[in-house]
Amino acid sequence: MDESSTGDFLPLSLNRSIAEFPIGNLPLAEHHRALGLPDGVVLHPHAWIVPSEMLAFLQGGEASMRDAAGHLLASRTSGNTGEFLASASFLIRYPWDLIRANELHVSSLTDAVIEGDVHPSAVVEGVIHLGAGSRLLPGVFIEGNVVIGSNCKIGPNCYIRGHTSIGDRCHIGQSVEIKNCLILSRTNVGHLSYVGDSVLGEGVNFGAGTTTSNLRHDGANHRSMVAGGLIDTGRRKFGAIVGDGVHTGIHTSIYPGRKMWPGTTTLPAGIVRHDLVC
């Protein structure tokens, strides 16, 4: 199958392929392998597949599976000429599609896996996966399902809301609120910041008081610049897409739906009104 344009996935495609991108701390390609598909079934390398829909596709005998937008997600070499139309599975084409995939995966978790340490004053209301060597410090409040990798420091006194995944060796610190985000390894959001409905790459450092805005005043869907044109993201709440190694100065404010290229920086009290391209 032809892959979707990597240009549509900028700036995240500059450092890794879509298939390598971690969703719930597992690369998309590993999610594909976990489906345990029989021989003869071919997946698009950028497809996000809901397991129940794949099961229905396999049992139904159709020759292909497409998402609601008509993108081909899977096909098989033998089968009838029918086509299975998926309602929840979809093709990951744009960076904000990762947020949708992460929401679906993390919200589906049913069993807690706690290999790290949880302080007695931390509160967890939901299903949490906590990696080895990670610590939830005093005053942490986790609401909803959250995945946290290994050797992370979470807290003290921070609020993490559901459908969030955090990679390895991250620090989410004092008075920070994280909501519905996908955060890669070695990233620090140390204190007094809000990050919502966003993707943060590896090795990002948010200065104190960095805030992502995620809601338009008129409540309409956010649009984002792709290849010189504005694309409707389909998202009413959408924060920022932040590439690897981005550093922000203290009190940086980021407009909704803005993208920051790897290695870019802001000055203290900076305002990111447009995509920040290096």
User: Using CA atoms, how far apart are residues 147 and 127, in angstroms rounded to an integer?
Assistant: 8
DSSP-derived letter for residue 198 is: -
Residues 104-115 as b or e (16 or more Cβ within 10 Å = b): bbbeebeeeeee
Q: Is 31 a catalytic residue?
A: no
Cβ neighbors of 59 (< 8 A, separation 6 or more) are none
Which residue among 105, 191, 222, 251 is the active-site one?
191
Q: From CA 65, how far away is CA 86, in angstroms rounded?
A: 7
d(CA 205, CA 103): 23
Give the angle 22-90-17 at the CA atoms, nearest 5°.
35
d(CA 113, CA 111): 7
* Residues annotated as part of the active site: 191
